[in-house]
Amino acid sequence: MQDFTGSFRLAGRLIAAADPALVEIVLLSIQVTLSALVVSALIGLPLGATLAISRFPGRHGLVILCNALMGLPPVVVGLLVYMMLSNAGPLGVLQLLYTPTAMVIAQTVLITPILIALTRQVIADLNHEYAETFHSLGVPAHTAIAALLWDGRFSLLTVLLAGFGRAIAEVGAVMIVGGNINHVTRVMTTAIALETSKGELALALALGLILLAIALGVNALTSMINAPDGKRSHVRSA
């Protein structure tokens, strides 16, 4: 199939030319997904950590629920958010349907359970090590949660990456609530779906390659952040 080599060349040409339509789509994708990630992190990290260290009735059920919700199909999330934001729905007055905000909401709903579940696991493991010391020092729960989140920061970055990857790669939810409107809510994945339905397979694949490149870039950036300080390096040094 000549589509593969053609796609690579096309992807290269699109990037090299900094095609304005492409740039717009890429930036919107990143903007929407980063926003969703920030909101999800603000909810998911503290909640996951709380689930990890606290004991209350129903906690086990909540853990199972979050683990299960990790597998929530994006289309279902899209439908739920659509029904909420539709003019016939309870939040219709906000007029958010077919806006980037709606896409942020959908992706947030999609990845928050992932962040909660994975954070809970990371923090539970860390707490296993810290619990006695914290108890001995008399650390209050909220201080313990903050300390665990900070000390687990390297593992939690990977958790955030998982959320980012899931959000930027999904198409079902943003297609429904965003509408794939040109210049308004068209992102990488919906553009790929559109080009595929036009039979422009080479262009669709080229866009897919660019999406992959973004994912690689984000991962590379993260590993830069994550780079070990080296033994005995000075924390305050520049």
Closest contact distance (angstroms) between CB of 133 and other proteins is 4
Q: Pick the closer one to other proteins by CB: 66 or 167.
A: 167
98-101 long-range contacts, CB within 8 A, separation 24+: 98/177, 98/178, 98/179, 98/181, 98/184, 98/185, 99/178, 99/184, 99/185, 100/28, 100/31, 100/32, 100/178, 100/184, 100/185
Indicate the Cα dihedral angle 178, 183, 188, 190, nearest 10°.
40
**Consecutive H or E run containing 45:** helix 20-53
State yes or no: residue 6 binds other proteins (CB under 8 A): no
Q: Which of residues 61-100 bind other proteins (CB under 8 A)?
A: 86-89, 92, 95, 97-98, 100
Number of neighbours of residue 170 by Cβ within 10 angstroms: 22
Q: Which of residues 118-147 bind other proteins (CB under 8 A)?
A: 129-130, 132-133, 135-140, 143, 147
Among 7, 35, 101, 107, binds other proteins (CB under 8 A): 35
Q: Pick the closer one to other proteins by CB: 61 or 199.
A: 199
Q: Pick the closer one to other proteins by CB: 130 or 209.
A: 130
* CA-based nearest residue to 41, from 125, 174, 128, 152: 152
- Give yes or no for a contact between 236 and 175, defined as CB atoms under 8 angstroms apart: no
State yes or no: residue 7 binds other proteins (CB under 8 A): no
The whole-angstrom distance between residue 187's C-alpha and the CA centroid of its chain comes to 14
The tally of CA atoms less than 13 A away on the side-chain side of residue 188 is: 25
Please give the Cα distance from 72 to 91 (Å, whole number).
22
Among 12, 19, 27, 42, binds other proteins (CB under 8 A): 27
State yes or no: residue 196 binds other proteins (CB under 8 A): yes
Q: Pick the closer one to other proteins by CB: 42 or 181.
A: 181
**Backbone dihedral region for residue 171 (phi beyond 0: left; psi -120 to 50: alpha; all else: beta):** alpha
In this chain, which stretch among 26-34, 49-57, 59-67, 117-125 interacts with other proteins, using CB under 8 A?
Answer: 26-34
State yes or no: residue 165 binds other proteins (CB under 8 A): no
Closest contact distance (angstroms) between CB of 134 and other proteins is 9
Residues that bind other proteins (CB under 8 A): 23-24, 27-28, 30-31, 34-35, 86-89, 92, 95, 97-98, 100, 129-130, 132-133, 135-140, 143, 147, 150-151, 153-154, 179-184, 194, 196-201, 221-222, 224-225, 227, 229, 231-236, 238
